[in-house]
Structure 1
Amino acid sequence: MFGNQISHVDDGAFSDLVALEELNLGMNKLTCLSDHTFHSLDNLLVLTQKSITTITPSSNSVPLLFKSIIKISKTSTGLRKLDVSGNHFKIFSITANVFPHLQTLHLSFSGPYENGSMEWDVPDRYFLRNVSSLDLSWIHMSIEMMSMVLQSLNSLVNLKLNHTGVLQNYIIELSELSFRSMKQLRILLLGKNILSSVPNATRNFPTLEILDLSGNRIIKLGCSDFANLTRFTELYLDFNKNMNFEGCVFQDLGALKPLALGNNLILALDGAFN
């Protein structure tokens, strides 16, 4: 049902679809969902609600959406993936253990676009204990809120923070604390964030395998930037700025397969691949 002109969904519209596992209502003209929108969808695993103008017209937040989802089951849902990217809501709120099986959460392009930033209201990190993939790209969120988000998700394997306006200061100032709990992180995407150097945070992830730093403003790579990251298999540094590097910069990356260095105006390799 993606990409149509749907502006209203009747109560019980999906009541006969008891075996439905995936529902995509994105890119329609929905502005409101009732308490009974998802009633009887006990087997729903993937829900996509992209680009809804408002979820609750009065408060411009998401509680009504989650209230509808909660109606799927008396205690919790079986959802594995929730995509509410591209919405303008001000508050992401989960105040009960209704997503015990959730593994993927997409919030990219979300938050109020004109003033303020999106708030995170998940008082118990146990509620999202199984989320392993998180997309916060292009999100309108303060440094403090983003720190709260990352500290509450201990099971992340895949983290996407492309083009996040606060990220330059965030990584420099708060990354040591905020990323400390991510013991399983394997994929970190930090493209298009105006970073001028490789963040120290990346040195704290011995499990890290894929790192994307493309489209930043990194001008120099040092020997310590990727030291001891022996599990690296993919590294993307293309589309930075007048990059130069020391000869020892890649010495520990023996497992590296793709290495993207294009469009960097590199003048010399300085024995980096000896």
Structure 2
Amino acid sequence: MVVAGSVGSGCTTLACNLAASLSALHPQSAELLLDFGTPVGTAATYMGIAPRVAFAEAVRNLERCDKTYLDTAIAQNTRGLGVLPLFAAARDLRGLNLSEVFQMLAIILSIYHLVVADIGGAVFSEVGQYLLQTADEIVVVCDQSVAGILEGKKIAANLREKIGTRLQAGVAVNHYEPALGVDAAHVGEALGLPLLGQGIIPERRLPLIQAMNGGALAVDALPKDAYSRAVQQCAGLLAGRIWPDSNPEGTRGAAGWLRRWRTMA
């Protein structure tokens, strides 16, 4: 799961590129990106696809939500990576039953081999807390600003309080600029969490916008760019930790790859 404490940290962009990089390692697997960050729906835009259904709508049609329905309803990019935004309009969240929300998440995990959840700044919501509690791996996205680090510290403290010794989290310092004089190790130390690999995702605004304007992700359009290489390294580390036997068919459903969710009573 990918979380961030401040708007503008690049959490959704990183989640999209990370999901695509993980997907590329096992292209025959069924993969899904949950676009639950803020603003909702940007993941699909970055990937150049138009969503056909949102999570809130799927919850309201829970009895229909089997593999056939989800395969048909969820839009995919050319790589086969599906994207499911939280809602089409904010009013769609009104009246949703939280237990049915959790049931929907369990259904998703029974169908998809790989699920990457972009929670962004919604980490303290009920759904965000549920996902945090049950995540295999959590990537905390932070920049080098004082505000970003302070928000990251709040998230890290919440993770330690709620998850305790089961916590598996790593910090990715996004938009990294050496000239700012705040190195990744300092950010990780401030948050009290280890870095994810080197912990550095370099500032590459121009190539990211170029890729986005072409309806593609940086890791697909510009695989040799420094940003893409950093994301690919993170994906390799996560894959090695979570799926060490490299056998997607052997870890289907509730024992899935990047993250697993348990149905909570």
TM-score interval (norm. to shorter) = 0.3 to 0.5
User: TM-score, structure 2 length as denominator?
Assistant: 0.32
User: TM-score, structure 1 length as denominator?
Assistant: 0.32
